[in-house]
Amino acid sequence: MRNPILPGFHADPSICRKGDDYYLAVSSFEWFPGIPIYHSRDLKHWELLTHGITDDREADLLKLPSAKGIWAPCLTWCEQEGLFYLTYSVMHSMNARYFDVDNFVKTAPEITGPWSETVYLHSAGFDASMFHDTDGRKYVVALDWETRETYEKPGAICLMEYDPRQKKVVGPMKRIYTGGTERGCIEGPHLTKRGDWYYLMCAEGGTGYAHAVTMARSASVWGPYEPDPQNPIVTSVPGDFNERQDWDHLKPRYFNAVSYLQKSGHGSYVDTPLGETYLVHLCARPFRPELRCTLGRETAMQKMTWTGDGWLRMADGGNLARAEFEPSRLPEVCWPEPPVQDDFDGPALARCYYAPRWAPERFATLADGALYLRGQESLCSLNKTSLLARKLTSVETTVTTRMQFCPTSFHHSAGLVLYYDNMDYAYLELYREEEGCPAMLRVRRLQNGVRTESAGVVVPEQPLYLRLTVLGRSTQFSWSADGQEYRLVGPVLDTSEFSDEYCQYGEFTGAFVGLACEDSLLHQASAKFDFFRYEAHPENDEAYFL
């Protein structure tokens, strides 16, 4: 099998098993619906099955800066109760290194719901996860973020007991672990139990080029925890180094030129009935030499094994994250391939569509075999925008749509977008300078908040075909009147600039492609889209990242 198993923005994976079914949840940050959940029966083929948060009233993300929002979900199955537990953090602010965050949990008998009311846990740190002990007791483990000047940053892993009957944490909070390496930036804890040992899996090194998966164990859930002598157990940069005093998560100096996967860390493991163990972890694939990861942090998988003395190891005996791994022996169960073209003729939007900060249904409507977007604020807004997008999963991708739109004011625009965050995007927009002037197309580019616009091109007053072509480092927009002959518009764009490493306002996510409509006058102008065609070739990506 080839990594990543989930290309594009799929960070902080958490995996669990219920019977013959495997479920994998990932972070969503400012995007709705929140917490994508994937399903597999063979650990080879994955389908986007559902989302953990579909009501934007449950997690109010409006006005939150990019990279805030829903962080690091933990998805677990409690066999004793017959319930899924979904634990997650909502990050509100990181100003002055005060991480203002709330942690929540909710439950459901089936992965598709219905989910219970959300229960507040605590606000001490982030990356909260739930552990179900064999005696029926439950515990919440998280990173307790340190704000005191004279204490080691970024903090320590903390533990609190959770009472499911009272639906709240009970008893004192205890700091139980500060790391199994000297890499620092500990986070992403998951507690499990195997035999008589409690295992604490963490991420260390920062979610950048020094990232790693580490392990520790204890005879008591409260510790003390003994670090694995081979830590880290999975990483993109093996070796020992002390970075406890450097709180910067990115650390590009630890880029490993011989590794296809970078930033490997933040892991979660699952056992199969065949005695196999597989670990999922985030990773990234940068353009070189700039080290810019346009596709964001992705999800990879490694085959693992347990040693005779009870430690978890990669199956090959090393700890360097592998681009290829031995697949499970579980019988294959394939899912239908998603259609390349969405004709918007279904009763609801496909699961692959997202919107920043609020639910797509707030502005997107399906009717008469078409999609209608009601214009909202500018794409620079942190509030209500009309952007319907899907994750870019390959840097060899062509996106095409057919749009009908009649702008009557300079307040109106609609078109096709390559989007990283509200301050970094490229927008092929149909607009009109003044009433009575011809309709025109141009490319609006936001680069770290600096706006530029290409020269306008006069186009006929009719439905237009719009296209975005991503070919490795180069991205180009074009348009057509008949869907056959396309004309280029705007400059050739540098694909690598739509990335964590280039963007100054957002981080942690990945590039999206989508459809947009703006109406900063009355929020009423509507654009009609007849289809959305997404042609990706992830099998060719390796050539661009080596």
Q: Are residues 42 and 80 in the same domain?
A: yes
CA distances from 129 to 61, 88, 255, 350 (A): 21, 7, 29, 29
- pLDDT for 245: 83
Phi, psi of 259 (to 5 degrees): -105, 130
Catalytic residue positions, numbered: 12, 187
Q: Are residues 287 and 355 in the same domain?
A: no
Position 533, amino acid: R
Residue 296 scores a pLDDT above 90: yes
| CATH number of the domain to which 525 belongs | 2.60.120.200
330 lies in a domain?
no
Mean of pLDDT values over 373-394: 98
Q: Are residues 119 and 197 in the same domain?
A: yes
Give the C-alpha separation, 162 to 167, whole Å.
Answer: 7
Confidence of residue 150 (pLDDT cuts 50, 70, 90): confident
Do residues 525 and 489 lie in contact, with contact meaning Cβ atoms separated by under 8 Å?
Answer: no
Confidence of residue 154 (pLDDT cuts 50, 70, 90): confident
CA distances from 256 to 51, 208, 239, 507 (A): 34, 12, 11, 21
Q: Which two tokens stand for residue 21?
A: 């079914």
Q: Are residues 399 and 310 in the same domain?
A: no
4 lies in a domain?
no
* Cβ neighbours of 331 (radius 10 Å): 8
Residue 410 scores a pLDDT above 90: yes
Mean of pLDDT values over 364-392: 98
Q: Show the domain range for 347.
A: 341-544
Strands (E), 291-421: 298-306, 312-314, 341-342, 355-356, 364-367, 370-374, 387-391, 396-404, 412-421
331 lies in a domain?
no
Q: Are residues 306 and 345 in the same domain?
A: no
Residue 125, sorted as left (phi over 0), alpha (psi -120 to 50) or beta, turns out to be left
Do residues 73 and 91 lie in contact, with contact meaning Cβ atoms separated by under 8 Å?
Answer: no
Confidence of residue 149 (pLDDT cuts 50, 70, 90): confident
Give the C-alpha separation, 403 to 289, whole Å.
Answer: 38
Q: Which of 314, 349, 376 is the last residue of a domain?
A: 314
Confidence of residue 97 (pLDDT cuts 50, 70, 90): confident
Tens of pLDDT, residue by residue over 179-215, are: 999 999 999 999 999 999 999 999 999 999 999 999 9
Q: Are residues 309 and 350 in the same domain?
A: no
- Annotate 417-435 with b (16+ C-beta within 10 A) or e (fewer): bbbbbbbbbbbbbbbbeee
93 lies in a domain?
yes
Q: Are residues 388 and 464 in the same domain?
A: yes
Residue 67 scores a pLDDT above 80: yes
- pLDDT for 248: 81
Do residues 213 and 181 lie in contact, with contact meaning Cβ atoms separated by under 8 Å?
Answer: no
Q: Are residues 83 and 232 in the same domain?
A: yes
Give the C-alpha separation, 190 to 359, whole Å.
Answer: 30
Kindly state the DSSP code that residue 288 receives in the 8-state scheme.
T
Q: Which of 266, 299, 314 is the last residue of a domain?
A: 314
353 lies in a domain?
yes
487 lies in a domain?
yes
| CATH number of the domain to which 192 belongs | 2.115.10.20
- pLDDT for 151: 84
Q: Are residues 162 and 303 in the same domain?
A: yes
Least confident interval from 150-159, 296-305, 422-431, 514-523: 150-159
- Quick check: helix, strand or coil at residue 89? strand
Mean of pLDDT values over 60-84: 97
182 lies in a domain?
yes
Do residues 144 and 157 lie in contact, with contact meaning Cβ atoms separated by under 8 Å?
Answer: yes
> Of 397, 417, 425, which Cα lies nearest the Cα of 527?
417
Tens of pLDDT, residue by residue over 244-271, are: 888 788 999 999 999 999 999 999 999 9
Q: Which of 314, 331, 357 is the last residue of a domain?
A: 314
Give the C-alpha separation, 76 to 155, whole Å.
Answer: 25
* pLDDT above 70 as % of the chain: 100
Tens of pLDDT, residue by residue over 466-475, are: 999 999 999 9
Q: Are residues 363 and 442 in the same domain?
A: yes
Mean of pLDDT values over 366-389: 98
- pLDDT for 246: 84
- pLDDT for 435: 86
Q: Are residues 491 and 421 in the same domain?
A: yes
Domains in the chain, number: 2
> Of 6, 41, 49, 45, which Cα lies nearest the Cα of 22?
41
Q: What is the CA radius of gyration of the chain?
A: 23
269 lies in a domain?
yes
Residue 544, sorted as left (phi over 0), alpha (psi -120 to 50) or beta, turns out to be alpha
CA distances from 274 to 252, 277, 300, 329, 522 (A): 39, 9, 21, 8, 60
Tens of pLDDT, residue by residue over 423-434, are: 999 999 999 999
Q: In whole numbers, what is the pLDDT of the chain averaged over residues?
A: 97
Q: Are residues 244 and 354 in the same domain?
A: no
